[in-house]
Each structure stands twice: as structure tokens, then as C-alpha cells.
């Protein structure tokens, strides 16, 4: 007995040591391959929202209350927002560098919990201990370096992706452990699902994956009365999840996040969904040129053979899942369904603005990694009985193949990290690969407008609108580029079109008011500025002085003298050390024939007296 106890203790110590070595190796791998994002700039693809949103910039009860509160027209992601609050609170300087470090750390934790989940899953399906360890390790290492994950780590605004991954793997790890009868694991699994949903709402599909795992595990090893016990977890989860799905769909519909059906109807849209699933298989397993956007052509006409080909491939995959289940190849069944379930929210059953994106495939990509890992792990364990080859040859071959896959993926990841260096490198790279990409054309047009390249910006916007006619940002940017070229009538028309699609698009409202001002259409200037000044979106400190001045000037031109005096006085009150606005006010007062005696103690009076 003492000898057995000693061997067991030594084995446990060896296993513990091996795990710590593996944890360290994953850390070196994760931080090593993503080290070249540390000097990357924020990109103009939502990153500015992080630096403009003051509620996440400092720790206070008021800011915490704002983060934890529901806001109409926005998703509820407080865990993500709290992670940004930590960055801005702890790091007043070099905050971008620290945000990148934070994202890499979260990615490392996600990969670590992925390994723990796989090990527990393989154990639950009675995979041998050695094969389980080898399979889980190879799959995890491939997962850690897969280049499709770059967007989720390098993009500051994608913080929700690794957070989603962390809590997804933790929830499923504890879920499997709960089958041994641990009430604590039941509770922890439920808590992790909630945290995943509060990181990114697409985590609402996790309970569906739990049901799949339960069916497979129950088929593998029947447990009488199991489903009654499982209701303890499922009833609270679905009571939480179903209302949140309804709220998410309603919110997306309210803010225009749900787009028209592909092909025009629900049924033709399903053909697009079928194609998108297959496109993700190609993207995850057979792509070497990753990008920030993939403007693929969707086949939604029932008379097109391509539409039925994609549907047929999905039917064949579904058939393989059923056959695998019948033949008790339960892990194959689990991971094929895994691929579909975690892509379901972004598969365009409810069409969204972007057809495909790397970040959408973060968790689904594990299916491919597990498939590769299984083949390499089986080869690793194989021992040859051949006179000319060593019995260890398959192990050497498996090591070499694994090294090639991991090195190739790591190289592609490092390369893609540099693509995310800044906005210009990102969008020029995307356009080089996919010239019709609407997001790339729109976001690059913003940069060109800032650099005064209005004609090029206009061309980019027109290309974007041809691809996505309802892209209100492309239409608004087109209007801005036309403003810069003096095409005020075209600009006004396009700003109006953008506002029809997105009535609360604040920048389009400001742009339209400015276009009317440049055209000297003072009636519309007065009307638009009045709407802006009443809006809760309006930034009074930044734009208030100028808009009140223009309202006052327009009112004067329209012979509305009391309104003109009121607006001009308000412009003075809001003006803080802006000499240009002072000069405009002085010239306007002079043109109106107003003397210093009539304007009181306003701070431009001395300048007016000098005229």
C-alpha cells in the first residue's frame, strides 16, 4: 500500500509539474507571437469611441453606475466596459500600450482555459489519459497561434472577444465537472454563462452547446434520472437567456443593426446563411490571406446552382454528424455542432452589416484545431512494426508536422499583427485583397478626408455605397468629401439620405447644418442649428459657441433681430478663449450697427470699441 501511495504521489507531482511547464509554454507562445502589437495605434474602426467615452476613463461611483446601467439603443456589455475602466484608471500614460498588454493577457487566459476544457471533455468521453493530454495540448497550441484570432487581440475595441472566450470555456469546463454531482460546479457554470453574456451577447448560445454536450455524454454513458437533475441548471439559464435574446433582437432592430434579408425574403436569406457557414470553413481551415473584411458574393437566387451546392454541402455535413452519432463518434459530433452553434448569431439568420469577420470565428475555430490535433495525436501514439523504420518514426513525423503547422500559423499571425499597425495599413491592406470591401472603403475615406484627399475619398465612398446601398456612414462621408470640394448641393442631398437611414446620426446633422451654412441658405441654417441645440446628443462645450453664432447670424439675415441678439449673446457666453469666434462676433456686431453701449459687458466689447 505504501508503494502504491508513493507511486500515486509521484505521478501526481509529475502531472502537476507537466501542467505548470505547459502553462508557461503557452504564456511564452501567446505573448511572443503578439508582442509586435504593443506599438500598434488605435484604428478608426470604433477605437475612437473608447477615448471619447468618459465614463470608462476614471473610477467613480457615477461611472460605475453608468457602466452597470441599461441604455436604450445599445448592447449591455458591462464586463467588457469594466475591463476598459481598469486600463484607463491604472494607466494614465501609455494607456494604449497597456490596453494591448491587457488584451494579450486575456487571450493567454482564454487559451489556458481552452486546454482545461478540452482535457475535461476528453476525459468525460473516456479518451485514454495519454491521448487526452496529447490531443488537448496539440489542439490548444494550434488554437493559440491561429491567425484568424489576430483581430480579436490586436483590435482594441475587440476586447469582448477574449473575454467571451474565457467565460465560455470556464462555463463549459465547470459544466462537465458538474456531471459528477457537484452543486458548486453547477452554480459556477451558471455564473460563468452570465459573465460571458455580459461580455458579449452572442454568448446566449452557450446553453444550446450545453444541451448538445449533455445529449452526447448521456449517449456515451447513460445516467438514470439525469435529465431531471439537469433541470436545476437549465431552467434558470433559459429564464435568463430567452428574455435577453428578445431584448437583443429588439435593440438591434431599433438602431438599424438588422439589415434587409439577403435576396429579399426569409427563404432566399437562408441560402445566404448556408453559404456563409461554408465560407467560414474555408476561412478557418484554408485561408492564408486574412483581412479586416470579406465582401463575398452571396448566391441567393434559387435558380443559381451555387446556392444549392452550398446547401448540399451543409446537408452532407449534417449527415456526417448523424452517422458519427450512430457510430458513437461523439466528439466528432460535438465539435461539428460546436462550429455551427457559435457561428449561429453571426450567420445572418438576422442579417447584420458585416457579412464575415475574423473575430466572429474566434470560438468556432476550435473545431478545426481539434480536428488537426486529433490526427497529429493519433500519429504521435502510433508505433510501427516495420523492418526499415523505427517504431518511433510516427512520433517524429507527428512532431515535425505539428511544428510546421504551429510555425506557419505563428508566422501568419505575426504578419497580420503588423497589418493592424494603424488605420492606414489596415484598410489599405484590406483593399489590396478585397477592393470592394465597404468598411475598408469607408474607413480609408475618413483618413483621406483628414489628409485633404477629397476626390480619392469620394471615389472610395462611391465604391462602398455600390456594395452596401444602406451604409449610412459611407453616404455621410461621401457628403463630407463633396463639401470639401465645394459641391454643396450634392453634399446636402447625401446628408439627407444618410439621415433617412439613420435619423440620429449626429455627424450627419452637423455636416448638413454646415453645408447649408456654406451655401448661405440661412433659413435652413437657423432650422438645423435649432434642432441640434435641442438635441441631447449635442456637445455644447465643443460646438455651442459656433452654432449659436451661426444661428444668430442667420437670424439677422432673416430679419429676426430679437433671436439674432439672443443667439449672439449666447455665443459670447459659451466662447472660451477662441479669438476666431471673437473676430466673427465683432464683424457681425459691426455689420449690424451695434455699438459697445448696446452689448453690455460681453468680452468682445473692447475689440468692437477698437473698430
CB-based contact 271:300 (threshold 8 Å): yes
Residue 422 within a domain = no
Kindly state the cell numbers that stand for 243. Answer: 428574455
d(Cα 510, Cα 508) in Å, to the nearest integer? 5
> What pLDDT does 610 receive?
46
Looking at the structure, do residues 508 and 532 belong to the same domain, yes or no? no
Looking at the structure, do residues 395 and 470 belong to the same domain, yes or no? no
Indicate the residue among 469, 492, 519 that finishes a domain.
Answer: 519
Looking at the structure, do residues 313 and 444 belong to the same domain, yes or no? no
> What pLDDT does 194 receive?
92
Q: What's the rounded mean pLDDT across residues 488-500?
A: 95
Q: What's the rounded mean pLDDT across residues 83-98?
A: 92
> What pLDDT does 608 receive?
42
Looking at the structure, do residues 229 and 360 belong to the same domain, yes or no? yes
> What pLDDT does 12 receive?
58
Give the relative orientation of helices 393-419 and 423-433 as an angle to the nearest 10 degrees: 120
Indicate the residue among 519, 553, 584 that finishes a domain.
Answer: 519
Lowest mean pLDDT among 277-291, 308-322, 530-544: 530-544
> What pLDDT does 299 receive?
96
Question: Which band of pLDDT confidence, cut at 50, 70 and 90, is reported for residue 7?
Answer: very low
Looking at the structure, do residues 106 and 230 belong to the same domain, yes or no? yes
> What pLDDT does 611 receive?
43
For residue range 397-441, what is the model confidence (pLDDT) as tens digits? 999 999 999 999 999 999 999 999 999 999 999 999 999 898 899
Residue 425 within a domain = no
Looking at the structure, do residues 525 and 600 belong to the same domain, yes or no? yes
CB-based contact 466:489 (threshold 8 Å): no
> What pLDDT does 382 receive?
85
Question: Which band of pLDDT confidence, cut at 50, 70 and 90, is reported for residue 475?
Answer: very high
Q: What percent of the chain has pLDDT over 90?
A: 65
- Predicted confidence (pLDDT) at residue 92 exceeds the cutoff of 90: no
| CATH number of the domain within which 471 lies | 1.25.40.10
Looking at the structure, do residues 9 and 44 belong to the same domain, yes or no? yes
- DSSP 8-class letter at 600: T
Looking at the structure, do residues 276 and 407 belong to the same domain, yes or no? yes
**Domain range enclosing 571:** 521-611
Residue 313 within a domain = yes
> What pLDDT does 16 receive?
79
Question: Which band of pLDDT confidence, cut at 50, 70 and 90, is reported for residue 196?
Answer: very high
Indicate the residue among 389, 417, 445 that finishes a domain.
Answer: 417
**CA nearest 550: which of 590, 521, 509?**
521
d(Cα 450, Cα 452) in Å, to the nearest integer? 5
Number of domains in the chain: 3
Kindly state the cell numbers that stand for 139. Answer: 489542439
Range from 66-70, 213-217, 407-411, 549-553 that averages highest in pLDDT: 407-411
Looking at the structure, do residues 493 and 546 belong to the same domain, yes or no? no
- DSSP 8-class letter at 302: T
Residue 428 within a domain = no
Quick one: CA torsion of 147, 151, 153, 159, rounded to 10 degrees? Answer: -150
Q: What's the rounded mean pLDDT across residues 150-176?
A: 96
Mention every residue, 6+ apart, whose C-beta is less than 8 A from residue 560. 526
- Predicted confidence (pLDDT) at residue 576 exceeds the cutoff of 80: no
> What pLDDT does 5 receive?
47
CB-based contact 107:149 (threshold 8 Å): yes
Backbone angles phi, psi at 398, to 5 degrees: -60, -40
Average pLDDT score, the chain: 89
d(Cα 252, Cα 464) in Å, to the nearest integer? 22
Helix (H) or strand (E) holding 535: none
Which SS3 state, helix, strand or coil, does residue 355 take?
coil
Q: What's the rounded mean pLDDT across residues 84-91?
A: 94
Lowest mean pLDDT among 69-83, 185-199, 245-259, 507-521: 245-259
Residue with cell 475618413: 446
Residue 455 within a domain = yes
d(Cα 362, Cα 337) in Å, to the nearest integer? 15
350 vs 132, 196, 277, 344, CA distance in Å? 38, 21, 14, 10
Report the chain's terminal Cα–Cα distance, integer Å.
106
Residue 212 within a domain = yes
Residue with cell 456515451: 220
For residue range 332-369, what is the model confidence (pLDDT) as tens digits? 999 999 999 999 999 999 998 889 999 999 999 999 99
- Predicted confidence (pLDDT) at residue 488 exceeds the cutoff of 90: yes
d(Cα 573, Cα 390) in Å, to the nearest integer? 88
Looking at the structure, do residues 474 and 604 belong to the same domain, yes or no? no
Question: Which band of pLDDT confidence, cut at 50, 70 and 90, is reported for residue 595?
Answer: low
> What pLDDT does 476 receive?
95
> What pLDDT does 294 receive?
94
Residue 179 within a domain = yes
> What pLDDT does 591 receive?
87
Contacts made by residues 431-438, CB under 8 angstroms, sequence distance 24+: 433/289, 433/291, 434/291, 434/293, 434/294, 434/295, 435/463, 436/295, 436/463, 436/466, 436/467, 437/291, 437/292, 437/293, 437/294, 437/295, 437/467, 438/293, 438/295, 438/464, 438/467, 438/468, 438/471, 438/474
> What pLDDT does 231 receive?
76
> What pLDDT does 6 receive?
52
Q: What's the rounded mean pLDDT across residues 456-472?
A: 91
b/e burial code for range 303-330 (CB count within 10 A of at least 16 → b): eeeebeebbeebeebeeebeebbeeeeb
Looking at the structure, do residues 250 and 394 belong to the same domain, yes or no? yes
> What pLDDT does 574 receive?
83
Residue 427 within a domain = no
Residue with cell 484608471: 89
- Predicted confidence (pLDDT) at residue 4 exceeds the cutoff of 90: no
**CA nearest 107: which of 67, 139, 140?**
140
Q: Give the residue with greater pLDDT, 332 vs 229.
A: 332
Looking at the structure, do residues 142 and 220 belong to the same domain, yes or no? yes
DSSP 11-63: HHHHHHHHHHHHHHHHHHHHHHHTGGGTTPPP-TTTHHHHHH-GGGSS--HHH
Amino acid at each position: 500500500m505504501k508503494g502504491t501511495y508513493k507511486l500515486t504521489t509521484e505521478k501526481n507531482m509529475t502531472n502537476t509539474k507537466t501542467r505548470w511547464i505547459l502553462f508557461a509554454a503557452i504564456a511564452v507562445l501567446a505573448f511572443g507571437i503578439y508582442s509586435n502589437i504593443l506599438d500598434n495605434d488605435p484604428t478608426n474602426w470604433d477605437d475612437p469611441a473608447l477615448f471619447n467615452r468618459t465614463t470608462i476613463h476614471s473610477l467613480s461611483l457615477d461611472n460605475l453606475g453608468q457602466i452597470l446601467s441599461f441604455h436604450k439603443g445599445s448592447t449591455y456589455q458591462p464586463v467588457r466596459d469594466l475591463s476598459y475602466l481598469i486600463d484607463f484608471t491604472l494607466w494614465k500614460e501609455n494607456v494604449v500600450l497597456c490596453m494591448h498588454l491587457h488584451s494579450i493577457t486575456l487571450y493567454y487566459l482564454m487559451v489556458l482555459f481552452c486546454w482545461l476544457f478540452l482535457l475535461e471533455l476528453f476525459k468525460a468521453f473516456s479518451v485514454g489519459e495519454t491521448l487526452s493530454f496529447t490531443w488537448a495540448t496539440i489542439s490548444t497550441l494550434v488554437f493559440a497561434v491561429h491567425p484568424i484570432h489576430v483581430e480579436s487581440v490586436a483590435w482594441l475595441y475587440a476586447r469582448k472577444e477574449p473575454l467571451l472566450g474565457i467565460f465560455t470555456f470556464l462555463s463549459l469546463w465547470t459544466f462537465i465537472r458538474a456531471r459528477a454531482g457537484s452543486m458548486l460546479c453547477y452554480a459556477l457554470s451558471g455564473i460563468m454563462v452570465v459573465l460571458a453574456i455580459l461580455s458579449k451577447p452572442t454568448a446566449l448560445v452557450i446553453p444550446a452547446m450545453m444541451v448538445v454536450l449533455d445529449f452526447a455524454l448521456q449517449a456515451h454513458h447513460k445516467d438514470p434520472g439525469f435529465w431531471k437533475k439537469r433541470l436545476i441548471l437549465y431552467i434558470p439559464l433559459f429564464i435568463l437567456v430567452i428574455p435577453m435574446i428578445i431584448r437583443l433582437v429588439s435593440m438591434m432592430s431599433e438602431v438599424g443593426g438588422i439589415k434587409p434579408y439577403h435576396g429579399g425574403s426569409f427563404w432566399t436569406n437562408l441560402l445566404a446563411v448556408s453559404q456563409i457557414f461554408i465560407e467560414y470553413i474555408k476561412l478557418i481551415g484554408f485561408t492564408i490571406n486574412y483581412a479586416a473584411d470579406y465582401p463575398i458574393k452571396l448566391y441567393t437566387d434559387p435558380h443559381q446552382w451555387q446556392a444549392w451546392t452550398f446547401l448540399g454541402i451543409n446537408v452532407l455535413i449534417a449527415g456526417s454528424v448523424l452517422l458519427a452519432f450512430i457510430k458513437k463518434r461523439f466528439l466528432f459530433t460535438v465539435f461539428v455542432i460546436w462550429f455551427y452553434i457559435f457561428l449561429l448569431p453571426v450567420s445572418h439568420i438576422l442579417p447584420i452589416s458585416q457579412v464575415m469577420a475574423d473575430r466572429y470565428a474566434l470560438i468556432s475555430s476550435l473545431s478545426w484545431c481539434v480536428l488537426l490535433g486529433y490526427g497529429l495525436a493519433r500519429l504521435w501514439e502510433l508505433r510501427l512494426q516495420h523492418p526499415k523504420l523505427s517504431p518511433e518514426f510516427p512520433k517524429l513525423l507527428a512532431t515535425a508536422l505539428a511544428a510546421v503547422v504551429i510555425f506557419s500559423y505563428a508566422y501568419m499571425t505575426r504578419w497580420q499583427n503588423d497589418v493592424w499597425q494603424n488605420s492606414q495599413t489596415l484598410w489599405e491592406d484590406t483593399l489590396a485583397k478585397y477592393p470592394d470591401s465597404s468598411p475598408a472603403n469607408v474607413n480609408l475615406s475618413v483618413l483621406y478626408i483628414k489628409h485633404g484627399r477629397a476626390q480619392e475619398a469620394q471615389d472610395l465612398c462611391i465604391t462602398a455605397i455600390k456594395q452596401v446601398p444602406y451604409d449610412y456612414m459611407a453616404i455621410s462621408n461621401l457628403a463630407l468629401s463633396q463639401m470639401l470640394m465645394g459641391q454643396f448641393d450634392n453634399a446636402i442631398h447625401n446628408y439627407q439620405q444618410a439621415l433617412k437611414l439613420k435619423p440620429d446620426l449626429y455627424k450627419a446633422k452637423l455636416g448638413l447644418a454646415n453645408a447649408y451654412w456654406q451655401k448661405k441658405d440661412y433659413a435652413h441654417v437657423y432650422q438645423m442649428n435649432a434642432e441640434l441645440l435641442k438635441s441631447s446628443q449635442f456637445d455644447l462645450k465643443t460646438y455651442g459657441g459656433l452654432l449659436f453664432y451661426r444661428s444668430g447670424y442667420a437670424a439677422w439675415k432673416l430679419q429676426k433681430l430679437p433671436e439674432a441678439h439672443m443667439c449672439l449673446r449666447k455665443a459670447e457666453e459659451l466662447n472660451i478663449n477662441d479669438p476666431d469666434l471673437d473676430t466673427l462676433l465683432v464683424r457681425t456686431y459691426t455689420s449690424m450697427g451695434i455699438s459697445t453701449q448696446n452689448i453690455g459687458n460681453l468680452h468682445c466689447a473692447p475689440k468692437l470699441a477698437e473698430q
